[in-house]
Amino acid sequence: TNTSSKDLLFAIEEIEDSFPQINIVFIFWPAQTGAIEALVQTKHQEILQKICAELGGEIKGGRARLKLNQIDIAAAKSRFKDLLNSFG
């Protein structure tokens, strides 16, 4: 598709507007390198900091962007789920 990073931000804003009680939003997509990239938005900045500390991402504008070594989106989702569960 002809999507860009602006489309990702629009999607997150639409999700937050439609579901104001949501605590965290993840968007995954395959990178051209074959890895998986993720954009994470949450109202809890400490969660973003923990995610980035664990997975090596960058926080900018209240969002974290990560490049994961997984080549499968299902494996990336599972990794995030396990990581979030480890935070308690």
Contact 12, 39 (CB under 8 A): yes
Q: What is the pLDDT of residues 77-87, one digit of tens each?
A: 898 899 999 98
Q: How many CB atoms neighbour CB 63 within 10 A? A: 18
What pLDDT does 1 receive?
A: 57
What pLDDT does 3 receive?
A: 65
Q: What is the pLDDT of residues 56-72, one digit of tens each?
A: 899 998 889 999 887 78
